[in-house]
Every structure is written in C-alpha cells, then in structure tokens.
Amino acid sequence: MSRISHIALDDANLPPPTPEIEQERRVAMFDLMEENSFVLPDREERAAPPGPYKLGLSIREKRLVFDITTEQDEKAAEFHLSLSPFRQVVKDYFQICKSYFDAVKSAAPSQIETIDMARRGIHNEGARILRERLEGKAEVDSDTARRLFTLICVLHFGG
C-alpha cells in the first residue's frame, strides 16, 4: 500500500484563492485520492514504515515541506525542498492557466486546444522538476507528480 491515503494543505496563512485556483485544488485533491503512487525508500539502513501515508504539504521559511505520517499518525518522514527550482514553472503555469480560463470564455475551440496543450506541457515540466527534487526521498509516478505539482502551485500562489 505505497500510496497517500490523506492529504492536508496548510494554507491557513495564505490569501484566499481565486475560484479558478480553488477548482484546480479540488480536482487535484480528488484525483490524487482516487489514484496515486507514493513510496518512501529505505534510508540509512532503516526500513521506511509501510504505507498508506498521510501527507501534509506546507510552505515554511520559503521551503516546501512534506510531512509524512503513517495512518496511525506515526512519523514516517519529513523533508524540505527549496522553492527556487519551482518558481519559474509555477509563474509560467499561472500565466498559461489565466490565458486558458480567459480563452474558455470567448475563444475559438482551436485556440483553447492550443493553450491547453501548452498548459499541459508546463504542467508536465513542473511534475518532472518535482520528481527530480524528490529523488532519494520519495518515489512518485507521473500522474501523482502532476497532481502534487498542482497543489504546490496552490500553496505557492499565496506564498
């Protein structure tokens, strides 16, 4: 059971999200709970506690914090990632999302499709960066990385 069974975003100190950001968050959370792959590798000759895991995501002191516990609330791992590698791709993602949401209101279907393809490309890049940053800490599949990247964007929006 190497998966996330519960996820909590610590967004208490962030400004309220826009309706579009809130929708992205809801979809990512739902999709993540429906299907994900999250493996904690053994570290320092110590076996990782088995999943499923509860994941807390937050931004503290300009770092992305993954706080992972077992379903019995025993500490499984905690790691802090620099936000620097994510800054440009998050900025690009928000810009393309704004273009997409604006286009949906009035643009031709071909224009919407072009913008959506660009949005998926940027989203994939963010997921790739996340997987690289998690190397040696946690193993996630592409879909899980994409959904987690969306949640990182939500946190980054106010951070």
pLDDT tens-digit series, residues 30-68: 999 999 999 999 877 788 888 899 999 998 888 999 999
Q: What is the DSSP letter of 43?
A: B
Report the distance separating Cα 117 and Cα 107, nearest Å. Answer: 15
* Whether the predicted pLDDT of 159 surpasses 50: no
CB-based burial label for 62 (10 Å; 0-12, 13-18, 19+): exposed
Q: Does the predicted TM-score (pTM) go above 0.75?
A: yes
pLDDT per residue over 67-85, tens digit each? 999 999 999 999 999 999 9
The pLDDT of residue 81 is 95
Give the pLDDT mean for 91-107.
89
Proportion of the chain above pLDDT 70, given as a percent: 97
Residue 104 pLDDT > 80: yes
Q: Which domain holds residue 113?
A: 4-158
Average pLDDT, the chain: 90
Strand ranges inside the chain, DSSP E: 4-9, 38-39, 53-60, 63-70, 75-82, 139-140
| Amino acid 158: pLDDT | 54
Structure tokens at 25: 């968050």
Q: Residue 36 contacts by C-beta under 8 Å, 6 or more apart in sequence?
A: 3, 4, 140, 141, 143, 144, 147
In the predicted structure, residue 157 carries a pLDDT above the cut 80 = no
CA distance 138 to 58: 17
What are the tens digits of pLDDT across the range 131-150? 999 999 999 999 999 999 99
**Domain tally for the chain?**
1
Task: Tell me which residue of 149, 158, 5, 26 sits closest to 81, measured CA to CA.
Answer: 149
For the chain, give the percent of residues with pLDDT over 90: 64
